[in-house]
Amino acid sequence: MPELPEVQTVVQTLSRHVGGMWIARVHCHRRDIITPAGADLASLLTGRRIQLVSRRGKRIIVRLDTGQWFWIHLGMTGRLTAEPADAPLRPHTHLCLDLVGGPDGTNLDISTPISAVACQVRFCDPRRFGGIFIPTPGQTPDDGMGPEPLEMTADQLAQCMSRTSRPIKSALLDQSIIAGLGNIYADEALFAARIHPLTSACKITPEPIARLCESIQKILRNAITAGGSTLRDFLDADGHRGRFQDLHKVYGHAADPCPTCTKPIRRIVLAGRSTHFCPGCQIQPRRTNARKIRRKST
DNA sequence: GTCCATGTTCTTTA
DNA sequence: CTAAAGAACATGGA
């Protein structure tokens, strides 16, 4: 569900509700969504003020007034919403935070009346691939993360890609190489840049790399403007669906005519994921596998 | 019943 | 060592 544009949309919509608010109470309905297992999230959060909600790759970073921070990952079906505390709970809601406003930290214990609760932040995730992550000492939000696609230069992208011979699609999905792309936007960006998904990442020349850099950034920006893509589950913090799914050119369009050349869009499986491309616009790289077939001695 | 799903991580295989 | 393929996680929709 969530790639960079969806996560960014959640961060933007959530920030309006929670920036500067105090966490009065923590309701955790499932302990196993928290990593490391057994961490005491309630005592970490209760009575603390939310200073900033931001994004790194697909992670939602929350900073508290104490300097402590943690992150939320939405996995495939995770939702982070801001709702009235008396709104009905969706099934699979695993965590709720009661937030109170105001310039001071009054009423920050269990005696806070429900009427003082400005809103509840809720984490709902049916498949539970997402979760709440508390960093280990010394860990930073950048650990294990490649560059931010919206801030990288074409040279940086070339550098990232020069270090692996894997298919470009596979490299784009690797968060330690570049942070934020997922299956939808990797396919859309490769189509826009006219690069075949099986092309070896280190064999792409500077010109197509520059095209890819521009395509990635243009698509991500447009998707953020459209509030992300809602295929099934995604909602922003206000419960609104995204609109970018209507602008997908190849993702989910197997067998449809290519919007550019009318050849049917193909779907293959690469790195275990559905991969969509136009065989007319995205030319297949020359086969690099050995011609000789080696026979094992028997 | 089958297949598929916006993600990540671990294991197996080559 | 590299990396590709497969499985696992858990739930629901078509």
Q: pLDDT tens-digit profile of A227-260? A: 999 999 899 999 999 999 999 999 999 999 999 9
Dihedral of the CA atoms A199, A225, A125, A68 (nearest 10)? 100
Å from A295 (CA) to B6 (C1')?
Answer: 42
A259 touches strand C (CB under 7 A): no
Lookup: nucleotide whose C1' is closest to A272 CA: C5
Please give the model's pTM, rounded to 2 decimal places: 0.94
SS3 label, residue A30: coil
Report whether pLDDT(A291) > 50: no
Residue with minimal CA–C1' distance to C4 is: A271
Lookup: nucleotide whose C1' is closest to A176 CA: B8
Smallest Cα–Cα separation from A242: which of A227, A223, A221, A224?
A227
Contact between residue A47 and residue A69 where contact means Cβ atoms under 8 Å apart:
no
The set of catalytic residues of A is 2-3, 58, 273
Q: Which residues does A2 contact at the CB level (< 8 Å), separation at least 6?
A: A10, A58, A74, A75, A76, A78, A182, A228, A234
Tell me how many degrees the CA angle A182-A183-A186 measures, rounded to the nearest 5: 80
Which pLDDT tens digit goes with each residue over A160-210?
999 999 999 999 999 999 999 999 999 999 999 999 999 999 999 999 999
Contact between residue A11 and residue A54 where contact means Cβ atoms under 8 Å apart:
yes
Contact between residue A242 and residue A236 where contact means Cβ atoms under 8 Å apart:
yes
Å from A198 (CA) to B10 (C1')?
Answer: 24
In this structure, how many other beta carbons lie within 10 angstroms of the beta carbon of residue A219? 25
In this structure, how many other beta carbons lie within 10 angstroms of the beta carbon of residue A241? 15
Which pLDDT tens digit goes with each residue over A7-35?
999 999 999 999 999 999 999 999 999 99
Å from A122 (CA) to C2 (C1')?
Answer: 42
Distance CA A132, CA A80 (A): 11
Q: Which residues does A294 contact at the CB level (< 8 Å), separation at least 6?
A: none
